[in-house]
């Protein structure tokens, strides 16, 4: 596509350096963290303020040009993949911390501010922003809103939706919606929550107000070592079932442990089948009591060793390997396919066993590293895209994992979103009536279907071609699980 009139209008509202059309220059924008899904955009625009965003949207709307919004490009479902005939609206230049309100314990920022930068801006006041994706050093708060991102500490402190109080959104017509604010509730429908995880399909977030939390007075991290993966999975339910809500509860299997240890030297036992990292925070007395309970539970469920970190340096070392797990696994194979599904905690052991079985079926190794406390799995399927058929096998393997997650009562995503990666599995999880409602909702905000088209919600025709698979209609892909 080449629309000289649209480019001419863009140039009247944006500086020349904020408009990129050269084919070599747009290439870095052709994908997000899922490198298998690539497309070069017709034009990339990088607005520096709200007025420029609004102008881009109005011009695109008037000329029927689709728009894909991009943050830092760290997404893992292809949601920010551009469209060949569309505009890629990149928000990375809008990275101001607008206000820190110490009385209200809030921070108001532009969408390009990185997740970690929010905590950095308020650390001197003893405050921080709780959601902490592994990519927090790079991912933007606007992207976090679009995907409803999670992180290590979301078990206790919630996802993005639980920590954002207000946003400003620009519609495709160039109008501004002000949703929420500094209070914890507002009258009318909860449109603020609706925007969380909407994957850029309903509008463009240009301002975010988040709540800040005080740093806990005490913190402790326990590392449980297991010789059996299901035993570690069973410990997760036992800890939560005993009434302990850790700040974070993470699991890694043998392959992930070895990769992380070789990469960052966090002190992990490389001969373990699994480790469970449990962070406890709060008052000193409460942390002490909870640490004793968690240690006893881990041992009762089969942990062969439980180590405890008490100093800040020791805690950071324990988490260092977990935070670096994804790049560490990337050293094991030319490519890996990162899946994202959620299951009930009591099903973690069964799902991990099924992933091991599927690994044999598809003849591809898999490393498991995930947010065990909230059942959010991240199997990393290793493959080599240069070998014929391996990418297709990896994708098929990932699809079967997601089908199994649904079959045990879970869902096809916990924090990475649907994007283009999981459109087929959306047909499995939702009925025709539910998908119709999703389409109606999108049409209310974007009647011309110009905002991130082809993402997140599949066309009904696509689901029909797949055979109309719906658990709601009794067509469970794994009949042996119906008793659960």
The larger pLDDT score, comparing residue 417 to residue 483, is at 417
Please write the tens of the pLDDT for every residue from 295-320. 999 999 999 999 999 888 989 999 99
Q: How confident is the model at residue 464 (pLDDT cuts 50, 70, 90)?
A: confident
pLDDT tens for each residue of 355-396: 999 999 999 999 999 999 999 999 999 999 999 999 999 999
Closest CA to 47 of 110, 16, 90: 90
Output the pTM of the full model. 0.92
For the chain, the first-to-last Cα distance in angstroms comes to 51
Please return the burial class of 21, using the count of CB atoms within 10 Å of its CB with bins 0-12, 13-18 and 19+: middle
Residue 436 has what DSSP assignment?
A: H
Say if residue 479's pLDDT is above 90. Answer: no
Given a cut of 60, whether residue 474 has pLDDT beyond it is: no
Q: What's the CA gap between 277 and 357, in Å, rounded?
A: 25
Delineate the domains of the chain, giving CATH numbers in brackets.
4-90 (3.30.43.10), 97-214 (3.30.465.10), 218-328 (3.30.70.2190), 333-481 (3.30.70.2740)
The pLDDT value recorded for residue 468 is 52
Torsion of CA 222, 228, 234, 240, to 10 degrees: 10
Q: Is the distance from CB of 224 to CB of 303 less than 8 angstroms?
A: yes
Summarised one tens digit per residue, pLDDT across range 153-199 is 999 999 999 999 999 999 999 999 999 998 877 788 999 999 999 99
Q: State the pLDDT confidence band at 477, using cuts at 50, 70 and 90.
A: very low
Specify the pLDDT at position 183.
81
Instruction: Annotate 378-397 with b (16+ C-beta within 10 A) or e (fewer).
Output: bbbbbbeeeeeebbebbbbb
How far, in Å, CA of 371 to CA of 415, rounded?
10
Q: In the structure encoding, which two tokens stand for residue 251, read together?
A: 């699991």
3-state secondary structure of 166: strand
Q: According to the model, what pLDDT value does residue 249 have?
A: 96
Strands 176-180 and 248-253: unpaired
* SS3 state at 281: strand
Predicted confidence at residue 478, as pLDDT, reads 43
């Amino acid at each position: 596509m080449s629309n000289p009139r649209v480019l001419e209008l863009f140039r009247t509202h944006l500086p020349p350096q904020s408009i990129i059309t050269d084919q070599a220059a747009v290439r870095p924008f052709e994908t997000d963290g899922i490198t298998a899904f690539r497309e070069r955009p017709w034009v990339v625009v990088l607005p520096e303020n709200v007025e420029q965003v609004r102008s881009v949207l109005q011009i695109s709307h008037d000329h029927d040009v689709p728009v894909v919004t991009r943050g830092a490009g760290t997404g893992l479902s292809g949601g920010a993949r551009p469209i060949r005939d569309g505009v890629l609206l990149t928000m990375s230049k809008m990275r101001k911390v607008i206000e820190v309100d110490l009385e209200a314990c809030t921070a108001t920022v532009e969408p390009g501010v990185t997740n970690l930068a929010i905590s950095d801006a308020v650390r001197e006041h003893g405050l921080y922003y709780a959601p902490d994706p592994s990519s927090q050093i790079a991912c933007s708060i606007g992207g976090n809103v679009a995907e409803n991102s999670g992180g290590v500490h979301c078990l206790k402190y919630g996802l993005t939706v639980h920590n954002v109080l207000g946003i400003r959104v620009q519609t495709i017509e160039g109008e501004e919606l002000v949703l929420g604010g500094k209070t914890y509730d507002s009258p009318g429908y909860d449109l603020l929550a609706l925007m969380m995880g909407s994957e850029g399909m309903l509008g463009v977030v240009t301002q975010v107000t988040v709540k800040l939390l005080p740093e806990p007075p005490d913190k402790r991290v326990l590392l449980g070592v297991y010789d059996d993966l299901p035993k570690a999975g069973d410990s997760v339910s036992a800890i939560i079932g005993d009434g302990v809500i850790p700040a974070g509860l993470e699991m890694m299997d043998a392959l992930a442990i070895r990769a992380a240890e070789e990469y960052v030297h966090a002190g992990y036992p490389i001969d373990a089948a699994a480790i469970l990292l449990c962070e406890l925070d709060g008052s000193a007395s409460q942390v002490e009591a909870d640490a004793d309970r968690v240690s006893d539970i881990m041992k009762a469920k089969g942990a062969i060793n439980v180590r405890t970190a008490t100093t800040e340096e020791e805690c950071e070392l324990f988490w260092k390997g977990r935070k670096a797990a994804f790049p560490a696994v990337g050293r094991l194979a030319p490519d890996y396919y990162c899946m994202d599904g959620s299951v009930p905690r009591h099903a973690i052991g069964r799902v991990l066993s099924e992933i091991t079985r599927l690994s044999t079926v598809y003849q591809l190794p898999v490393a498991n590293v995930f947010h065990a406390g909230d059942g959010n799995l991240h199997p990393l399927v290793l493959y080599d895209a240069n070998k014929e058929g391996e990418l297709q096998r990896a994708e098929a393997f990932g699809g079967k994992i997601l089908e199994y997650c649904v079959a045990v009562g879970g869902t096809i995503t916990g924090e990475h979103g649907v994007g283009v990666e999981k459109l087929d599995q959306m047909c499995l999880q939702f009925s025709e009536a539910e998908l119709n409602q999703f389409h109606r909702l999108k049409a209310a905000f974007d009647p011309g279907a110009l905002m991130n088209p082809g993402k997140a919600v599949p066309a009904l025709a696509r689901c029909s071609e797949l055979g109309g698979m719906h658990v709601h209609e009794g067509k469970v892909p794994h009949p042996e699980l119906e008793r659960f």
